Amino acid sequence: MMRLKVSFYLNGEPEFRPNKHAVQGFIYNMLKGTEYGERHDDARFKFFTFSDFFRDKKGRPTLIVSSPDKGFIEALHDNLKDRVRVYLGKEELVIAEVKKFRLPLRRRFQTGSPIVLYKDSGENEYFKLHAHRNLNFFLKRLEENAEKKYNAFYGDDFHLEGPIFDRMVPKLRKNGKLDVYVKIVKNGIPFPVIGSNWELLEKEKIKAEERRFYRFLMEAGLGEKNSLGFGFLNPIRR
């Protein structure tokens, strides 16, 4: 289980928020020629996610890619480490830093990109915290999705005892709303994805037999549409 930090030199724009579909395409392009080169065509979980862009300590636009599959991050790193320029969509960027790293498992997390869940996938209806106001539904669907991904990755039949988190603190937007609307552009056609960010997701005690499960979630992401950069988690201390 590993993460990859990729930082770029400033391009003069005060806000740098490339379309998530363009970032996904960038990652897939960087996997060409590796054993993961056909991952985008797999009709299954992709087992990776990435953060929203943020500024690092040097003020550089940065994103982090995480995966429970160490080989996936190794392949991505090997194809990026010697490159100077890359494309995100139509925009050419200069790479400042590429770094692999691991983080220890914690009992507390916060989101680095919104968590997305369907209320009704058949109707393409997303769950909205502000409108549906059903935290039990959110937690149950989150747990079911997490177990399904985990068992698919490990070929296991694991089921969590008790709630997936014991304490949850949502991150409110400036307008007081809980939900985040993200515009995704695919093949020139925009469509919204609705999710929620969280200041705190806490599990009071992670049992020994649950550690691999939570470590998997930390790197695979929570909820749906992980490979589009949703459900990214950061462990936190406090």
Segments of the chain scoring below 50 in pLDDT: none
The secondary structure of the chain as a DSSP string is -EEEEEEE---S-S-----HHHHHHHHHHHTTTSTTTTGGG-SS----EEPPPEE-TTS-EEEEEEES-HHHHHHHHHHHTT-SEEEETTEEEEEEEEEEE-----SEEEESS-B--EEEGGGTEEP-HHHH--HHHHHHHHHHHHHHHHHHHHT-----SS-S-SEEEEPPPTTS--EEEEEEEETTEEEEEEEE-EEEEE-S---GGGHHHHHHHHHH-SSS-GGGT-S-EEE---
CATH class of 108-235: alpha beta
How many Cα atoms are found within 13 Å in the side-chain-facing hemisphere of 223? Answer: 28
Concerning whether 87 is annotated as a catalytic residue, the answer is no
pLDDT at 158: 96
How many CB atoms sit inside 10 A of residue 39's CB?
A: 19
pLDDT at 14: 59
Parallel, antiparallel or unpaired: strands 91-101 and 2-8: antiparallel
Concerning whether 28 is annotated as a catalytic residue, the answer is yes
One-letter amino acid for residue 85 of the chain: R
How far is the C-alpha of 113 from the C-alpha of 151, rounded, in Å?
Answer: 23
How many CB atoms sit inside 10 A of residue 49's CB?
A: 26
pLDDT at 214: 98
How far is the C-alpha of 80 from the C-alpha of 65, rounded, in Å?
Answer: 12
Domain range annotation of the chain: 2-101, 108-235
Give residue for tokens 């992401």: 221
CA distances from 183 to 35, 106, 228 (A): 31, 31, 12
Domain 2-101: assigned CATH number: 3.30.70.1890
Angle between helices 20-30 and 70-80 (to 10 degrees): 90
| pTM for this entry | 0.92
How far is the C-alpha of 106 from the C-alpha of 200, rounded, in Å?
Answer: 12
Q: CATH topology of 2-101 equal to that of 108-235? A: yes
Query: Among the options 40, 118, 130, 132, which is catalytic?
Result: 40
How confident is the model over 25-40, as pLDDT tens digits? Answer: 999 999 998 999 887 7
pLDDT at 189: 85
Query: Among the options 21, 28, 36, 77, which is catalytic?
Result: 28
Residue 107, sorted as left (phi over 0), alpha (psi -120 to 50) or beta, turns out to be: alpha
How confident is the model over 165-181, as pLDDT tens digits? Answer: 999 999 987 666 778 89
pLDDT at 18: 83
pLDDT at 201: 97
